[in-house]
Structure 1
Amino acid sequence: MSAHKPQILVTRRLPASIEARMATLFETDVNEADVALTSEDILEGLTGKDVLVSTITDRIDADLIARLPQSVRLIAQFGNGVDNIDLEAAWAAGLTVTNTPSVLTEDTADMATALMLALPRRLVEGTQMLLREGEWAGWSPTSMLGHRLRGKALGIVGMGRIGTAVAQRARAFGLNIHYYSRNRRPPAVETPLDAHHWDDLDAMLEAVDIVSLHTPLTRDTHHILSAERLGRMKPGSYVVNVSRPELVNEPALISELESGRLAGAALDVFENRHGINPRLLALASDNRVVLTAHMASATLEARVEMGEAVIVNIRAFMDGHQPPHRLLPDQPQPRSARG
């Protein structure tokens, strides 16, 4: 590493051990308030900086990218998802963009599995009943009846690292594994899971009891669970989403749940830019939806590993090497020179 320490802006607070390492390696400016910065705040904080360490709460669109100081050459995202960054605009501006993949697999799969259990077994509802009533009336043969997981069909949309990890956990609970993915997995993956591949998503949705989403957000996957596809799902089935809210047509999902055609949904991600939809909150209050606060990757271990990946990306880039987690747009545009 050169004698000149890279100057970086970190837009949110990170684990203490990561902030300490960054402070040793870089000239680091951290957003101590730990609230989402506005575009103007980001631009002001980047004056004289080399690197922007962003998170999913930062909207880095084409307008912001066009206004970045010439000194900024790297956007090092703290996180796997980068749908908050206009990758095409960054590429055209000559910026390098990195993320932190692979470190979230186990934690995200754990959360998806926990939600699959919580939903049909009414775990949240049972806890709330005790807290609300303050005194348990006692066991009854017909009280709090849910549904068994064993023997049910799980349809995984996106059989990448996380989808495969979910399938492994679900198989241990006796679920039958079905999946739809851009590429069919090899026998070494399918056979131990007894996994059935579908090349027709609509047909899979009609056949399974639980749909769990594990695909990245792209132009092709936006609203992959559209109103029409939600209408194809089996009556009494469930939706689990720990990936991206934009994968689901949320108003259509709400309507299917309100009508009672779908039995429930467990959502770690949902549209909340203007506040959570009151209809969704009402369904949660009525125990037909389980909502968690974007917690799928929220373990200390995952956050530290994410921070370490950010550091590796920055050091590689500033040393003149290709960062290990560099991202490219789907359709790269001609690249322009940048400082």
Structure 2
Amino acid sequence: MRIDRIFARLDREPEPPKIEIPRMSGTRKVLFGSTLAFYLAIVWAVLLSSWLVLLDWKVMLFRAYEQWPELHAFLDYLVVLGQRGPTAVMVAAWLGWRSWRQHTLRPLLTLATSLLLLNVTVGAVKIGLGRLGPHYATQIGSAELYAGGDIFPSGHTANAVVTWGILAYLATTPRARRWLSVLSAVVALSVGATTVYLGTHWLSDVLLGWAAGLLILLALPWFEPLIGRAEAFVFAVRERWRSRGAFVPAVPGFSGGVPGAAVPAGAAVTVPAVLPGATEPAAAREPVSAGGSRYAGTRPASQGVPAHLQASAHLQARPHAARSERPSVAPAGSRRPPQPHKGGTHAPHATR
């Protein structure tokens, strides 16, 4: 199938039902506040080197990757579901397809907004606290803060929560939203636990990563007006570019135009009754013989017409005659030779 036919088929897709944009309801505000309190509690516990830091060391010294080495190969692939590059490409491809089918940029703009918030919030805490990872720890029982690291909170975990959770956030039906919420939660929990198994993150890193990603998903309704204005701006720019390029080549010599000049699309084109250089109107060229060719004995249309106008001669106006008034286009006589044995009109009837 040709590509243009595929595009034409997509353009004829029916408009989807009205998509309900999530709002910042009371329940969502309560969840946001609770998650924010949990986030701050984790940060405070690590800053004070409390029992949570001691738990981090106990889990790290357990070395799960040595206890169950047979899982190592599989979990090395599973943790890719939390890497920002591969997951962003996969999810953006799916949301791009949805944007095309639904004739809206909201899915892609929502994904871009969530990833921007993720980079800013998580990146700022990572750089500000500078915590070292388990493989680079120097003192047992220490929180390893302000040492030039970038491990707290876990970026893999937060990215898994946001990237896969955005699919549930953008779901158009309650059933799809429920199933996608369960799927994204399983993926995020698996990625966070895998980083602890591999020894690349402390347990508190993963807990804070889960909270950081959930805060972004819960806060997205506050950014919906901004997303709507950005979509309207992009569409307005597209329409302006389309209006600037909406020109078609002009017919040289018509409408007083200069050969090669452009005429706006949809503008009326005036066809003169007499072409420039011609000596008689096009309507005067009538057949001279009903038994011959329709234009037999007529002066050729190209005679006396400049070379650059001869290609437009088919555009000239001609009178429209009724069917009964139209002359015959067949020659005077029949082209078939007489056949006496069939009793045609050209042979006399045999005497009986």
Q: Shorter chain as normaliser: what TM range?
A: under 0.3
Q: Name the larger-Rg structure.
A: 2
Q: Select the structure with the greater relative contact order (CA < 8 A; seq sep ≥ 6).
A: 1
Between Structure 1 and Structure 2, the one with more strand by share is: 1
Between Structure 1 and Structure 2, the one with more helix by share is: 2
